Structure 1
Amino acid sequence: MNNLPSSDYPRVPSNTIWDNSDLPLPQSSTQSADSPDSGTSVTNNVQPYLKGLVDDVQEFVRELTLLERSINIVTSPALVTTSEAIATNLRYMADSIGDTGEPYQAGDIGELHQARPLIKSTEEGIHVFSKRPKIDGILRQSQIPHTTSEAFFHKGPEQATAELNEQITKDTQGLITDFLQAKDLENPDLAFQLVTWLLQQVSWQSPFRVMNEKESSEITWENAAHSEIQWMESGSIQPIKHIKNKDYDFVAVPVLESGMKAVFVLPPEGETNPGSEDLNQILSSGLTTILGKSGREHAVLTLPKFKFNYQFTKICAEAEAKGKHMAALDVDENGATVAAASSMLSYDLHIPPEKLLRFKFDHSFYLAIINHKNSNDPRVIGMAQINHPEKS
């Protein structure tokens, strides 16, 4: 029996030095070669190694289309798709064994490992509650932390759920609480429950300055005064990376953590409900371009502080499973923190003022946190749309 996951999971160092190196721009680039740094045009050209990132954006936009556009939404597209891939592979392997107990092939375990690329490289946990002996064997050989069917029935749904909820709360620094419900495990037709979670923090290289009440009162949101919004401004000139795509400004703010990017996306004012295909193309091409952008510009940024969470359910037809997903986002003067959990239930410098760019995020905007430690497979581990800093 494997014990519940503990705090010795691979972790991203909390205080690493910002990597000043730039990713090389692919030869067949999405960045126009003759474009000035102040605004890069974007084409539809997407490199194969960016497919995961593009798929993540599509997953995010797909969820947006199901919602009332006035609410805030945050998800971890990479965690959702990774969880679905693991559940699908696990279900397939269990079904291929059948009731005869015939052994599965070693290559199948390899496929299961390939379905979980992020689990080894970011602050994530993974655990499976097994309710079938044949699932136990697959999990043991694939080295996925799990509670065996025997141990589960000994502990019971209440204790097993409480223990993992406590671990998730600890690992996400209290941003995800009471995620699991014991009643889900009581279903006799349930073969397994896969649970994954992550915590990722990015720290601004130059912390923002929180504005006082008088300064904040002079800034509007969607052209209306909102006294409840607390605003902050870059305390020093930020050496940002910037591109413009379809009048959307993509601004990458430098962070301390190596291999991470935080990109704010400011739509043109008045753009409230673009078509899903248009938005998917704009966000995908913009993020893939800024990921390979070289050179820096300088800007002053004005942003609201915000903190909210969001959850949704989704059917994963390939795994014949239902997924529950929750994510929380906290952005303040020091940085941004995204935490997420996913559950799959499977049944059977000085610059002249005129050279400064200025960005005021005073209407609906987006934020993407990208993990590109593996330069061959950058992924969006957190993505949000902020429609009002004080609404969740």
Structure 2
Amino acid sequence: MANAKEINESLLQFTSSLYGKTILQQSGDLQNTFMSPLSIYIACAMTMAGASDTTLQEMWHTLHVPDGLRSNESHASIGQYLLKQLASSSDVEVSLANRLFTLNNVSILADFKHTLSKDYCSDVESIANLGTAEDKRRHINQWVAQATRSKIPELIAPGGLAADVVLTIVNALYFRGMWEEPFPKEATFQSKFHCLDGTTIDVPMMYNQQSYPLTEIIDLDAKAIKLPFNGKRWKMLILLPNQQDGLRKLLNGLQQPGKFASVLEESFVKEKAEVYLPRFKLSYCPPLDVKKLLKNCGIRRLFDREADLSKICAEEKLLISDVIHKAVLEVDEQGATAAAATGIMAVPMCFMPKPVIQVDHPFFLAILGESDVPAFIGHVLRPEVD
């Protein structure tokens, strides 16, 4: 597909920037984090279809849109490529919920509606007549719950929608994949997970012995493993620090320009390995301030009174008031459910005896789609267990 490589590189650069700003926001106080850069990227691209002048320039720059795609006609290429990455199959179920809600009576231009519908399989929904802000909040939450198979029942908390909000971008992504090699349930046992603060928690530890793509990332002092889902288009990437307290070093390394992309490009060698992985969830991560993250990445005009969204509405001057995002993850023996540098050195892992990947301390993870598109990304400090 034309421009596929450029769009993929654009998404990878945006992912690295957004995730890097997330790590910086957490500073010395790292927390469980799970997000969907792909979902946020698509929501921004949709909004970009309504932007002009400096607002549009900032979005192009922050999304790393290549020069050849900086035109109104580019949305067909961008939308088609990104939605292709999220196509469901008989092996995995993927559902993207993306919508621009108008909460006040504004007249949306037909061209903008057409672009969202044709290129992003999305639309604009007016909920101006629903009454109170709480009524609108409940409506948005019901829509997201349906789109994410009830994995995200309450995207917006009570009181989280101000009465003067005009436009709100809402996005959520659902993914359900079954492991290509399921973990035998009878092999799961109680074990210790070592947290960064020196404490330990009990977790149900899954176990499997299969051939997996592995490598050693020397620069990050970490092992890398890919756990394929059925169909092999999707996989979970885990970067496990060699030291129990090595997550900070690993995340600092991933913040360097091009590092994450380099990890994806390196050679993984399929080897028989023993893998220990917690059965866990990530559903109560601290909320992400996506608006602040995007502003830190370079999209500022969109959120202030100088915003130019004249291609959305010509009659009234608009700005984006908020970007609401949540992603959740569940990992068990059958599979995973998710709702929402250059110069890195990597060498194939050469083990004798059989390699052991023991995920019993804080780690990085990503769920990758076709072409290694990062649909979800995050880090686990303290697994949530039932």
Structure 1 residues 355-366: aligned runs within 5 Å: 355-366=353-364
Tell me the CA shift for residue 239 of structure 1: 3.1
Q: In the alignment, what sits opposite 2:206?
A: 232
SS in 2 for 1:125: strand
Q: Which amino acid aligns with 1:127?
A: R
Whether the 8 Å CA contact 1:139–1:146 is kept in 2: the answer is no
Question: What are structure 1's unaligned runs of at least 5 residues?
Answer: 1-45, 97-106, 341-352
Contact 1:370 1:382 in 2 (8 A): yes
Indicate which of 242, 245, 255 corresponds to 2:215: 242
CA deviations on 1:2-59 (whole Å, 9 max, x unpaired) are: xxxxxxxxxxxxxxxxxxxxxxxxxxxxxxxxxxxxxxxxxxxx99953422431332
2:17: which partner in 1?
58
Q: TM-score, normalised by structure 2?
A: 0.69
Moved more, 116-125 or 264-273: 116-125
1:78 deviates by: 1.9
Alignment of 1:229-378 (within 5 A): 229-234=203-208, 236-246=209-219, 247-269=221-243, 270-274=245-249, 278-281=253-256, 284-290=260-266, 293=267, 295-309=269-283, 310=285, 311-313=287-289, 314-315=291-292, 316=295, 317-320=300-303, 321=320, 322-340=322-340, 354-372=352-370, 375=371, 378=372
The corresponding residue for 1:118 is 82
TM-score scaled to structure 1, two decimals?
0.68
Q: What is the distance in 2 between the residues matched to 1:227 and 1:165?
A: 33
1:14 aligned partner: none
Q: Once the two structures are superposed, what CA deviation does each residue of 1:88-130 show, in whole Å capped at 9, x if it has no partner?
A: 432439x99xxxxxxxxxx965345555453454221222223
Larger Rg: 1
Q: Distance in 1 between matches of 2:130 and 2:199?
A: 54
- CA contact 2:170–2:323 (8 Å) conserved in 1: no
**Alpha carbons 1:363, 1:387 under 8 Å: kept:** yes
Relative distance call for 1:49 and 1:161 in structure 2 (3 A) is closer
Is 1:382 aligned to residue 376 of structure 2?
Answer: yes
- Of 127-136 and 219-228, more deviation after overlay is shown by 219-228
CA contact (8 A) 1:109 1:138 kept: no
Q: Which amino acid aligns with 2:25?
A: L
1:92 maps to which of 49, 52, 65: 52
Q: 1:135 aligns with which of 77, 87, 108?
A: 108
SS at match of 2:181: coil
Inter-partner Cα distance in structure 1 for 2:253 and 2:17: 11
Is the Cα–Cα contact under 8 Å of residues 98 and 172 in structure 2 kept in the other structure?
Answer: yes
Conserved 8 A contact 2:222-2:250 = no
Equivalent residue pairs, number: 312
- What is residue 168 of structure 2 aligned with on the other side? 193
Query: Secondary structure at 1:367's aligned position in 2?
Result: strand
Uncovered stretches (5+) of structure 2, i.e. residues with no partner: 57-69, 87-94, 304-319, 341-350
| Contact 2:215/2:268 (<8 A) preserved | no
Match of 1:28? Answer: none
Taking every aligned residue pair, what percent have the same amino acid on both sides?
Answer: 18
* Counterparts of 2:7 and 2:123, CA distance in 1: 34
Distance 1:358 1:47 in 2: 37
Given that 2:113 and 2:124 are in contact with CA atoms closer than 8 Å, whether structure 1 keeps it comes out as no
Q: Name the aligned partner's letter for residue 75 of structure 1.
A: M
1:37 match: none
Distance 1:367 1:109, change over 3 A: same
Q: Cα 1:274–1:141, aligned 2, differ >3 Å: closer, same or farther?
A: same
Secondary structure of the residue aligned to 2:238 is strand
Secondary structure, counterpart of 2:326 in structure 1: strand
CA distance in 2 between counterparts of 1:140 and 1:182 reads: 29
In 2, the alpha carbon distance for the partners of 1:221 and 1:307 equals 17
**Distance in 1 between the 2:353 and 2:50 partners?**
55
Q: Give the equivalent residue in structure 1 for 2:64.
A: none
Q: Provide the rounded CA distance (Å) in 1 between the counterparts of 2:76 and 2:159.
A: 29
Where 1:229 maps in the other structure, the secondary structure is: strand
User: Is 1:211–1:231's contact at 8 Å kept on the other side of the alignment?
Assistant: no
CA offset at residue 277 of structure 1? 5.1
Secondary structure class of the residue paired with 2:42: helix
Partner of 1:204: 179
Please state how far the C-alpha of 1:276 moved relative to its aligned partner.
5.9
SS at match of 2:246: coil
1:242-280: CA deviations, max 9, x gaps?
A: 343322111011220442121111012032422865232
1:318–1:334 CA distance, 2 compared to 1 (3 A): farther
Instruction: Kindly provide the amino acid, as one letter, of the partner of residue 126 in structure 1.
Output: N
Deviation at 1:296?
1.5
